[in-house]
Structures are given as C-alpha cells and as structure tokens.
Structure 1
Amino acid sequence: MKLKRVLKLLLLSADEIAVAVFVFVLLSEFGIKIPLKLSLPLLLFLLLKDLLVAPYVLRGGLEKRPLTGPEALIGLEAVVIEDLSPEGIVKVENELWRGVCLNGEAKRGEKVRIVGFRGNLLLLERPES
C-alpha cells in the first residue's frame, strides 16, 4: 500500500521533474540560462499545485467505490442473523442478504466482513481473533 502511495506521488510530481530537467539541465546544455528569478516561481507554483491535489489523489479520490449493488457492500460489516454454517442470512445496512462464510462458521449476532459476492450471495469472512 505504501509503495502505491509513493508511485502516485511520483506520477503526480512528473510535471515538476520534467520542468526542472528541462530548465536546469537541457537548456543549460544548449547555453541557454534561465534566471532563477523566473524558473523558481514556476517550480514553486507547480509544487503548490501538487500539495493541494496530493491529499485527494493519495486518499483514493480517483478510485471511487460503487454506490449501488453488491459491489458497494464489499468491505462493509454485516451482522449474522441466521448461523453461517457455512451459508446463512446476514443483515447489512438494514437489508437481509444470503451469505457464505469463507473461513469457518459464524454464529448469530457475530459480525463478519463482506469480501466479495457470487451472484446475489455475499462472500463473508470472520474477523481474525
């Protein structure tokens, strides 16, 4: 997960890296000198833009969760209504769903996490204890 955040930050900073290489390396190779008074404000502006955008991008703002259907339930917690041995009934946000417990059995009243679905059957896991 941390590597993913670092990669996102590097991609987000790609324009600053490209501008810095162009201004400070490539142009100077051709004898063109850009005064620091001009290049520094441009780079600072680009960095400021990233500081404003980075929290949204790194928080997963570009990876929207589905809002409807079984896909929207993945990651939520459900309460067992009918024992999952391994199949039974769970309650998710005031709705009853059929589910199957993938890692053993769960008794009535226990909480389970939704990890996927198969058709209209929720795939559930008991929390590690």
Structure 2
Amino acid sequence: MKLGRIARLLLLSADEAAVGLFLLLILPSLGVRVPPAVTISLLAFLVFKDILIAPYVLRGGLEKRPEVGPETFLGREAVAMEDLTPEGTVRIGNELWRGLCLNGNVRRGEKVRVAGFRGNLLLLERPES
C-alpha cells in the first residue's frame, strides 16, 4: 500500500477516533454518562460511512481531472480550421473552439498546442521550429 493511500485511510478514520475519544474518555471525565448503545450505534454509523466512501477516496477520486470544458484540453494539440490572426477557430478531436495564438499567426491546417484558457477561449502556442 502506498504512503498516500495509508495517509488517506488514516484521515478517513480520524472522525471515528475523535468521536470515540470524546464519548469514551472526555465526556465521562466531565461526569456525563453516555449509554453504551448510543456510543456503539454512532461509531457503527461512522464506520459504515467510511466503508461506503473508502473506495472512492483510496483510489484518488478527489484528484480526478475534469472531463468537460476547456480544462480538458491543456497540453493537447489542436488544428487551425482557419488562419489564426491571432484569433480563430481550431479543432480538437471532434470539437470546434475559438482560440487565440499567443506567439504569432498560424495558417489554416497548422497544429498548435493548448497552453491555457480564458473563459471559453483557448490560449494557443505555435510549436517552436
């Protein structure tokens, strides 16, 4: 198991440890008695919650790249569908997007690389020749 997965697992179980510590040590030291059925039920609920979300958290689901929008095109190659002087239409896969070439003009059919985006406008760079 990788260190990152171990750290995520420990963080995932931190709420059970905190609630258990609070219910079993802190409250009794303050004179508050919590019925064992409440303690067991609450801890069981927290463990069940972790069992449900653990596969998502452990496989890095929180680090997933976006699947839609201009963010998905960062670093990818696009083809100019018209002369970019410096703005025009480019094709990425089966989609047409407006793009702005940051380093000069591009002729129709030439390839550019997506360097960023501003709203729905792709910021493009010509390959260095």
TM-score normalised according to structure 2 size: 0.49
Larger radius of gyration: 2
